[in-house]
Amino acid sequence: MSPRKYGLNGNSVDSEDSSKPFLKDRERFYDILRHEIARRKRLQYLVIFPWTILAASIPFILVGAGLLVQDAKNIRIPTTIYSPAQHVIKYGPVTFNGGFDKSNKTPYQGYPNEANNQAWEALYNFGVIEVPRSEAAKLVNTTMPVPEDPTQYVVELDVFHELHCLNHLRKMAWGVDMGVDTSNETEVDAFHEHMDHCIDSLRQSLMCSADVSTIHWLWDDDDKIYKADPRTIHMCRNFDAIRDWAFARRARPNDRTTYVSDPLQNGKTRW
């Protein structure tokens, strides 16, 4: 028979009854402990999970950033082919003259006459220039030395060639006598070949530059229709700066019938 236990008040206390509060406290303690462990696990999960996702995403972020950089590179203006005039290039907005306003014609418009012919020729008639060997060595297209001074080389900026072609087409469009002997078939064929060259050269140049400036449309109250307005703003290279640079380097008269060996080309200076 188990000994009877007595409480503080002298009353007998059964051992099972006396252990119940302790058991309840212990169960409550373990419940709290379990909840605390679960809470800490949830907290760790909430803290660690975002960093895990971020770490897993880094490779994809880097790949995406690389693609964006690559796309950005693709839309940048690429490095230009070397030109001895590239350091004088400047840009600025220019509003084009539509040419339809009779009161606001440019000096280059109208039937060919002494004034506008001179204006046209002043744009390009010094187009052939000389550059030193140090600059000629950087050219992507090799050229010829000047016979009178083989340390200098002959080049022409393409813009002046294009203006030369356009001036010839202008005169032809106005029906100006181009000095071609129409009775000489060879001379006529050579002239047509020259004009065909000029037209296609200008086509290639226009497609190469591919000006994406926008022509806008305006409402015409008189004709009750909206019309294209060619008075548009373009971002242009400063032609005057390029012309001044070229004029200061215009080529001297030289003997084009004299062959000069070029050290830059190891003798490969033939057509």
pLDDT of residue 28: 63
pLDDT at residue 142 greater than cutoff 90: no
Lowest-confidence range among 12-26, 99-113, 210-224?
12-26
List pLDDT tens digits, range 36-65. Answer: 666 665 655 555 555 565 566 665 555 555
- pLDDT tops 60 at residue 12: no
pLDDT number for residue 20: 55
Q: Which of the four pLDDT bands, split at 50, 70 and 90, describes residue 260?
A: confident
Can you tell me whether residue 13 is helix, strand or coil?
A: strand
In angstroms, rounded to a whole number, what is the distance separating the alpha carbons of residues 154 and 152? 7
Q: How far is CA 52 from CA 45, 61, 143, in A?
A: 10, 14, 62
The answer, yes or no, to whether residue 103 has pLDDT greater than 90, is no
Q: Centre a 10 Å sphere on the Cβ of residue 145 and count the other Cβ atoms it contains.
A: 23
pTM over 0.85: no
* Cβ neighbours of 147 (radius 10 Å): 15
Q: What is the mean pLDDT of residues 197-215?
A: 96
pLDDT of residue 261: 85
Q: Between β-strands 145-146 and 216-220, what pairing exists: parallel, antiparallel or unpaired?
A: unpaired
Q: For the chain, report the end-to-end CA distance as a whole number of angstroms.
A: 129
What local confidence, expressed as pLDDT, does residue 26 receive?
59
pLDDT at 23 over 90: no
Distance in angstroms (rounded) separating the CA atoms of residues 246 and 176: 29
Q: Tell me what the pLDDT averaged over the chain comes to.
A: 81
pLDDT beyond 80 at 213:
yes
Q: How far apart are CA 158 and CA 240, in angstroms?
A: 15
What is the mean pLDDT of the segment spanning 202-222?
A: 94
As a residue count, the chain comes to: 271
> Sorting pLDDT into bands at 50, 70 and 90, what band is 21?
low
* pLDDT one-digit tens code per residue, 226-248: 998 888 999 999 999 999 999 99
How much is the pLDDT for 43?
58
* Higher per-residue pLDDT: 124 or 266: 124
User: Dihedrals φ, ψ of 56, to 5°?
Assistant: -70, -25
How does DSSP assign 233-262, residue by residue? Answer: EEEEE-HHHHHHHHHTTBPPP--TTS----
Closest CA to 131 of 78, 86, 80: 86
